[in-house]
Each structure stands twice: as C-alpha cells, then as structure tokens.
Structure 1
Amino acid sequence: MEWQHLIGYADTQREVVEKALESILENMDIDERRKFDIQYQVLEDKTIKSMKNK
C-alpha cells in the first residue's frame, strides 16, 4: 500500500503534490503570489529556452 493511501490525501503522489501546491498558492497574499508567478515564469522561460537549444 502506498503512503498517500495511508494518510488519505489523494490516490496518487502526483495528486498529493498538486493539492499541497494548491493549498500553498491559495494562502499567499497578493504580493507573495505576484513574486511566485514571476519566479515561475522565469523558470518556465529557461526550460523552454534550454529545450530549444537541444
């Protein structure tokens, strides 16, 4: 039996992580969320750029 079934949060590890991230994002204030969104976009842009260079 997988650990997430034991604690009852979700059926898969992916769902557990998604729910945890949703909870964190929902509890951020506007400034925290804005900073997070900027940082996320920077990382996403770097990923796209690195994939294009392959």
Structure 2
Amino acid sequence: DRKLQKVLIEQQKVAIMPGYTYGEEGNGFIRLNAGCPRSKLEQGVERLIAGIHALR
C-alpha cells in the first residue's frame, strides 16, 4: 500500500487512500474517489495502471 501510494503521488500525480487507513481489514486495498468528470477518471485509471507497472 505504502509503496504504491508513494509512486502514485510522486510519479503519477494521483492521490489514493491506502486501505490500512480503514483498519486492518483494509490492508492490501486502496480507495479511489470517482467523483469527478469521466475524462479525469480515465486519466487517473491510466496513471494508476502506470504506477502499478512501475512497481514491477
């Protein structure tokens, strides 16, 4: 969670809420806010994918 959050914020400029914020059962998950225009959401998903690939 923490590594992904760091990559997304610093490299991809996408903010997420790490799952551990919501308690132990949230470990291994992330939370995204989709309350935005579709175009912005699509860009965010592309950046999320790029961030995940950067961790490989």
**TM-score band w.r.t. shorter chain:** 0.3 to 0.5
TM-score by length of 2: 0.43
* Greater per-residue helix proportion: 1
* Greater per-residue strand proportion: 2
Structure number with larger C-alpha Rg: 1
